[in-house]
Amino acid sequence: MVHWLQHETGGLLLLCALAIAVLLFLIIKVKLEPFIALVVSGLALALVAGLSVEQIVGTALKSGDSILETGFGGLLGHIAPIVGLGTILGAVLERSGGADVLTRRLLGLVGERFAPLAMGLAGLIFGIPVFFDVGIFVLAPLIYITARRGGRSLVLYAMPLLAGLSMTHAFLPPHPGPVAAGGLLGVPLGWLIVFGLICGVPAFLVAGVAWGAWIGKRVLVEVPDEFIVGEREGAKADTVDGTPGKSQAEPPLGAVLFIIAVPLVLILLATFGTVWWEDASVLPVLTFLGNPVVALTIAVLLAMYLLGVRRGIPGAELRDVATASLRPVGMILLVIGGGAFFGKVVSETGVGAALAGTLSDAGLPTIVLAYLIACGLRVAQGSATVAIVTTGGIVAPLVESGGHSQAAIALIAIAISAGSIIASHVNDGGFWIISRYFNMSVRDTLKTWTVLETILSVVGFAMAVLVSAFV
């Protein structure tokens, strides 16, 4: 039986399908932590497919080149410092009041009439360095005040903000999803930044601006009195025209934008430096500074100095902020590592090669398959991260054998990210955060947030397919 499974395409594909079914069962029915479920499913697939114990876990004397260790270590060695530094950067920006000054200045710039757009832009910009849920926690109070002052539905202001936060979280580094997808498929982050913006911004405009404006007039949600914090309420006069409050020192807006832009610009310069500059003496400098770890380290140090030490925040407090911000990252990295191990098993068992042959016969493009698999996994078990790392592991062999350019691989990664956010519903923790923070019933959350995520997903994927026709 093992011999048949190892050599017959149908058997290999059946094994892969069963392994995914076991993974979903463990997460959905057994309620097992996704990290453990990924490890269990990967080990089961490896054993049933006939891989030796030495291949899977090594021996007592030598285990460094086992599938278990290379699966985990290969990807985590790439993304762990990137995700960690990005998390610290977001925490320092949050602690310094960067979100407040950004939102207030945008409101002062566009005026009350276009306040929902200002909220969307705030989510789009501030969402680059901070996690999705952190962005909600920090910016939601500003949404409450703006909605109360405008006298319109909370949904009208929340949807653009959520679209901006969700788009950056799904499509742009240093967020875990796109970084993991890039690591699994072997594409530089510079390409992900470029195509993440090209595909993500139109999706944000359609989902956050157009859909947000339409649904915000039809789903009426009031801001409860208890949602307005007294401290924020007292700052109304300071925020009407976008000028800083006299009682609270705010960081300069230029410094906030500069710090957010620094790592993105450095990474882009390193990625495309060989195209733009022929001077060999410049390229090593760009390559060094534009390494994602180096670029984010520079941004973190700038943030700590310009927004922290220079403004009187003690170094010990900044250290505590950084330490606290890293606590939730551990489980995210374990899930990504578990997904990388699962994908490594898929590759070693020959499932990837079998899938490549089947798709070649069927004529289904890799970018479409990647999106559909990610969509299915997302809807079934709710976690975008699990959907990304599992899909990345499945399609990585297809990418390796397909002769794709770096740009094409980046677009496949964007398609996976787009599929990972579709149709957020009751099995997604983010669904309940939205429902709670914006005073919406389950029905209203489905009508607003779930549809918004689906629009983001479909438009982002459509843009990736469209752009792929020209690269």
Could you report the per-residue pLDDT of 427-459, keeping only the tens digit for each? Answer: 888 899 999 899 999 999 999 999 999 999 999
Q: Locate tokens 């992900």: which residue?
A: 192
Residue 153 structural domain:
2-468
Tell me what pLDDT residue 19 has.
84
Q: Quote the CA–CA distance of 232 and 271 in Å, as a whole number.
A: 43
Least confident of 107-111, 158-162, 221-225, 357-361: 357-361
Tokens read off for 297: 């380290």
Q: For residue 104, what pLDDT band results from cuts at 50, 70 and 90?
A: confident
Q: Quote the CA–CA distance of 284 and 273 in Å, as a whole number.
A: 10
Based on DSSP, count helices (H) and strands (E) in the chain, helices before strands: 26, 0
pLDDT at 208 over 90: yes
Handedness of CA 399, 400, 406, 410 (dihedral sign): positive
- Closest CA relative to residue 99, chosen from 161, 41, 25, 155: 161
How does DSSP classify residue 279? -
Helix, strand or coil, per DSSP, at residue 228: coil
pLDDT at 13 over 80: no
pLDDT at 16 over 80: no
Q: Quote the CA–CA distance of 144 and 236 in Å, as a whole number.
A: 12
Tell me what pLDDT residue 20 has.
83
241 versus 126: which is more confidently predicted? 126
102 versus 464: which is more confidently predicted? 464
Q: Quote the CA–CA distance of 320 and 23 in Å, as a whole number.
A: 37
Q: For residue 170, what pLDDT band results from cuts at 50, 70 and 90?
A: very high
Q: Locate tokens 């700038």: which residue?
A: 302
Tell me what pLDDT residue 360 has.
60
pLDDT at 238 over 50: no
How does DSSP classify residue 241? S
How many CB atoms are located within 10 Å of the residue 469 CB? 7
93 versus 464: which is more confidently predicted? 464
- Closest CA relative to residue 175, chosen from 134, 140, 206: 134
Structural domains counted in the chain: 1
Q: Using CA atoms in the order 346, 337, 458, 213, what is the torsion angle rounded to 10 degrees? A: 170
pTM for this model (two decimals): 0.85
pLDDT in tens, 271-292: 887 666 666 677 888 889 999 9
Tell me what pLDDT residue 236 has.
40
Tell me what pLDDT residue 278 has.
63
How many CB atoms are located within 10 Å of the residue 115 CB? 22
Q: List CB contacts of 376: < 8 A, sequence separation 6 or more.
A: none
User: Residue 309 to residues 296, 301, 312, 318, 322: CA-CA distances in angstroms?
Assistant: 18, 10, 5, 9, 14
- How many C-alpha atoms does 225 have within 13 Å on its Cβ side? 0
Q: Quote the CA–CA distance of 212 and 162 in Å, as a whole number.
A: 10
